[in-house]
Amino acid sequence: MTTSARTKFSPDELTQISLGFEGQRPEEMLRWAFDAFGSGVGIAASFGGASGAVIMDMALKLKPDVTIFYLDTDFLFPETYAYIDAFTKRYGVTPVAYKSRLTPEQQAARHGPALWQRDPDKCCDLRKVEPNARALAGLSAWATGIRRDQSGARGGVNLVEWNKKFGLVKLNPVAAWTKKEVWAYIFEHKVPYNLLLDQGYKSIGCTHCTRAVGANEDERAGRWSGTDKTECGLHT
């Protein structure tokens, strides 16, 4: 395998690096990434899940000027926008929003109403995947909040990996952490989080495609409920 122009590490080397971080604190991986890629690291914030709140707190303590971005689909919950405001005030950092090239009205005119019901994959492509590609342009690595215990589909994710879809290094600092460990960090460090997480939601996306879940359901069971869709396309 050849080394990409956007990283000095080959995919095989990244696999070995990932194995080396197993059992270590997430901060160690972030510190390595900032040393290796500098300002080329971006933190992807969903402003929905608890894991992302932890990573942002860790990253800002290590590199206060780190780039933090999020995907504003125009269908986020009011509580999500309130959390973004609270985050900005708490840390003094303004995350960069990336939106679809189509407004909701333009999307409805071009693809029909309620596209999320008829073709959720297409809706996610328009409102999340394409904006995410723009957010990652020029970066060498991006950090996400996905964890292995969130769903069966995420059970085998590596801590560090080459992301073919977007062509850069992907960091999953808390992939090996449990939900309990994430919340322990939040409470210990008084990290702000989306208040919907106190109301039966465990994974928060768009209003049309997210519901609260039961105590025994997977963390992501409330996303695209009633369909066989489990991911928005960013991590597949």
d(CA 53, CA 60): 11
What are the backbone dihedrals phi and psi of residue 223, each rounded to the nearest 5 degrees, phi first? -95, 125
Q: How many residues does the chain have?
A: 236
Query: Euclidean distance between the first and final Cα of the chain, in Å?
Result: 21
State both tokens at 173: 């600092």
Active site residue 124: no
Q: Are 96 and 210 in contact (CB under 8 A)?
A: no
Q: Are 60 and 153 in contact (CB under 8 A)?
A: no
What is the helix, strand, coil percentage profile of the chain, to 5?
Answer: 45, 10, 45
Which of 157, 126, 131 shows the shortest CA–CA distance to 144? 157
Q: Residues with catalytic annotation?
A: 232
